[in-house]
Amino acid sequence: MDLKSLIRTIPDHPHEGIMFRDITTLFGDARGFRRTVDELVQPYAGEKIDAVAGIEARGFILGGAVAHQLSVGFIPVRKKGKLPWKTIGADYALEYGTDRVEIHEDAVVPGSRVLVVDDLIATGGTTAAGIELLRKAGAEIVACSFVIELPELGGAKVLADLGVPFHALLQFDGS
């Protein structure tokens, strides 16, 4: 099964010149979704992982499934203002400003070994903010796992600079 063929590419979304990689078509294919989750889990099966952190929003879908397969808890890393209790946050740069991710202040047991999961690594800004936030809460980041890497955008270097290994199932050229 070619997972890449299950991902829809939408030109000029959300801005002109962007090739948006839409994995909702992958989620809609039962065999493809199952294989994706299995492949995200496989490199970490047997490793000591205490929790999976998923970055909003597609990272919730994938991260929840990965946490289930690893029989560990799940930590939602949300956009600012979405969580109902006391939070801690980290800001990150966007091409048109800044944004913020947050977790509940008690979401991480200090010393927990956490796997970060999201659909895509591009520039690495959101992932880096999530890592910073989880570390601030006391987590040890084991690795990051993604369905897609856009290598030309430099996210791998951002993660390397943070000392975090990562695994991506697929690579796409361009933005």
Query: Active-site residues: which are they?
Result: 58, 95
Q: Angle at the Cα of 52 (from 47 to 53), degrees rounded to 5?
A: 145
User: What's the rounded Cα separation, in Å, for the pair 73 and 138?
Assistant: 16
**Pairing state of beta strands 19-22 and 8-11?**
antiparallel
Buried-state track 53-86, b at ≥16 Cβ within 10 A, e below 16:
bbbbebbbbbbbbbbebbebbbbbbbeeeebeee
Report the amino acid identity of residue 114.
V
Element (H, E) at 27: helix 24-27
Nearest to 119 by CA among 3, 1, 2: 3
